[in-house]
Structure 1
Amino acid sequence: MMRIAIAGSGGLGRMFAQHLNDTVHPFIILSRRDQPALTAQGYQVAIVDYDSQDDLRYTLRGIDLVISTVSGVPQINLIDAAAHSGVQRFIPAEFEGPPARRTANDPLDRGKRATIDRLRHWSHHHRHQMRFTIFSCGIFYERFARGGLAASDIGTLTGIQNEGAYLMNMRLGTAEVVERTTSGQTIYICLTSIHDLGRFFIASLGLGLQNWPAEFRMYGERMSVTQLLQWAAAVRGSKTYDPDPTDVKLTYIVEMFSTDVIEPQDLAAHLQHATYYHDYPKMARIQELIATEQRRYDFAAPNLNTLVAVQPVSFWDWLSAEWGVAPAQ
């Protein structure tokens, strides 16, 4: 049995809490403010000030493992407090793409490099040594959910949280993708549902914190961008319905996908155009396409899949369950 703290009460934090609630491990949820809905469910919520080391250190006393779903300066402060409080291991808010895949001067960094540098500092500290493990799981299936990641209260500050913000819009039947790298290779991406991330995490606890590596890699599916679009079109065409003729947005052919394939060498020009016109949603989309072309969300040999008995849901099954029925009118 280990004592666990979940930093953040948003969608990912609540997901981890739901999965931990079915185990013997006691846990607390750290939040900046009262969470009556969570306490009503029987969860223990500790209100913390991420600017106060004294507050954070007091709250983390006796904690073995911290799972962070907060970012930026609050996460850096949390890391420092965790190390001083004797926390054994820290899981940073580093889900999705493996850090090793990032480039220098990454526009999608959002403080992630500084976070890892801080964790490395404490992992070698002579007095307050604290290990860390990154859970890399690829793209969340829920990016393609109804309402996007925002529907799960995830990624609210990333610019790609809304429905249709990455690769394709299932509701409208549109796609904006890059299918090949600048060298002509087919682009693959790894994907996992957020609840399977939770299942992988719970299973990993049985391995013992002392046996965790610096990075766990897992996925529910690895597929090419081209195949993803083919599956999406097949799922979307599995049911037909009569759209409201007065709603222009819905007057499309259900079976077809309108796809804009951007050549990799043109991505920089698309970003420059979006930047010039201050089109921030498009800037976010193109930056994600650039990251995809750089294979930021693709990795082989998922080491956690082979260590635990978790059978993740396939992307086909998940997408079919999410979109294989007529959207509500």
Structure 2
Amino acid sequence: MMRIAIAGSGGLARIFAYHISQTAHQFIILSRTPQPVLTAFDYQVVVVDYDDQEDLRYNLQGIDLVISTVSGNAQINLIDAAANTRVRRFVPSEFEGPPSRQNPSDALDRGKAVSRDRLRYWLQRTNMKSTVFSCGVFYERFTRGGLASMGIGESTGVYYQGSYLMDIEQGTAEIVERNTSGHLIYVSMISVNDVGRFLAAAIELGIRDWPNEFRMAGDRRTVSEILSWAEAVRGAQFSTDVIRARDLNQHLDYAVYHQDYAREARVRELIATEQRRYDFTNPNLNSLVDIQPQSFWNWLTETWS
């Protein structure tokens, strides 16, 4: 039996807590503030100060695995504390496309590269290991209210309904279908709930032999398929703006010039999609655990029919 610390108390942390609670492993939730809703589920919530190393180290004593859903300085301080309390493995707050597809100088990085650098520093100096869970795009980006409806992704600026590819409720879309080479663009996707299921199943395998990166996927579809399936489920053709890949930077410059921050965030996501930031073809975790993830079509019909 392991002792696990989940850092954060937002929507993603709550989903992880639920699925880990179905195992025999003990866990605590590290939160900046009391969480009466979570304690009502008999989850152990520990209020911590992420700026206080002594406090973090005290509460990580005896912890085997840290799963982070916090970012920025909070995560960096958490990494330092974990390395100094003999935590065996650290899972950073990534949960999107593979790190190898990310650009540290991109505005979408939001400090993750700095956290990865800090992790590498400690991995070379301690026995702590690290594993990233790559999962692509959450289906729930396309639900009513977007990720915001689940308390996920507030720091990204693209967590609201319609902030990525399409607004299914309003029947509108803004997409880039082909890359600069003329090839169709693919996106790897999964439901948030299945991410929690995969994470819990991976924990049951034991953390000693985890690789540096676990990849999981529920589906992999072209941007064109994503749009056409949504139209089919809604029974209507969307009002769609198809942007050519070569014109994306022009759209970005226009948004930046006019200080249209919401538009800028949306275009940056389109650029990331065109550059395959959310695409991969070898979900190595899928083959290791007995999890049948929900397909995108089934999720769409269940959510929008």
Amino acid at match of 1:258: S
Aligned to 1:172: 170
Aligned to 1:300: 281
Alignment of 1:19-168 (within 5 A): 19-125=19-125, 128-168=126-166
Aligned to 1:210: 208
Secondary structure of the equivalent of 2:81? helix
Amino acid at match of 1:149: L
CA RMSD of aligned residues (A): 0.8
The answer on 1:312 being equivalent to 2:293 is yes
Amino acid at match of 2:40: A
- Could you list the per-position Cα deviations for residues 308-328 of structure 1 after superposition, in whole angstroms to 9, with x for gaps in the alignment? 11000011111111111xxxx
Deviation at 1:21?
Answer: 1.1
Question: Is the CA contact (8 Å cut-off) linking 2:104 and 2:113 kept in structure 1?
Answer: no
Alignment of 1:186-205 (within 5 A): 186-205=184-203
**Mapped partners of 2:71, 2:104: distance in 1:** 19
Deviation at 1:206?
Answer: 2.3
**Mapped partners of 2:297, 2:230: distance in 1:** 8
Deviation at 1:104?
Answer: 4.6
Return the TM-score normalized by structure 2: 0.99
Aligned to 1:228: 226
Change (3 A) 1:106 1:86: same
**Mapped partners of 2:237, 2:179: distance in 1:** 25
Q: 258, 267, 279: which is aligned to 2:248?
A: 267
Question: Is the CA contact (8 Å cut-off) linking 2:103 and 2:109 kept in structure 1?
Answer: no
**Mapped partners of 2:259, 2:106: distance in 1:** 19
Amino acid at match of 1:60: L
Deviation at 1:37?
Answer: 1.2
Aligned to 2:9: 9
- Could you list the per-position Cα deviations for residues 278-314 of structure 1 after superposition, in whole angstroms to 9, with x for gaps in the alignment? 1111100000000000000001111001111100001
| Over 4 Å off, 4+ runs | none
Deviation at 1:136?
Answer: 0.1
Question: Is the CA contact (8 Å cut-off) linking 2:72 and 2:110 kept in structure 1?
Answer: yes
Secondary structure of the equivalent of 1:164? coil
Amino acid at match of 1:279: D
5+ residue gaps, structure 1, are 238-254, 325-329
Q: 259, 264, 268: which is aligned to 1:287?
A: 268
Secondary structure of the equivalent of 1:302? coil
**Mapped partners of 2:39, 2:221: distance in 1:** 40
Q: How much identity, in percent, do the aligned residues show?
A: 61
Deviation at 1:103?
Answer: 2.5
**Mapped partners of 2:118, 2:254: distance in 1:** 36
Amino acid at match of 2:300: L
CA radius of gyration, larger in: 1
The count of corresponding residues between Structure 1 and Structure 2 is 305
Return the TM-score normalized by structure 1: 0.92
**Mapped partners of 1:323, 1:278: distance in 2:** 34
Greater Cα offset, 90-99 or 104-113:
104-113
**Mapped partners of 1:105, 1:115: distance in 2:** 14
Secondary structure of the equivalent of 2:109? coil
**Mapped partners of 1:68, 1:220: distance in 2:** 22
- Could you list the per-position Cα deviations for residues 199-220 of structure 1 after superposition, in whole angstroms to 9, with x for gaps in the alignment? 1011111221111000000100
Amino acid at match of 1:193: S
5+ residue gaps, structure 2, are none
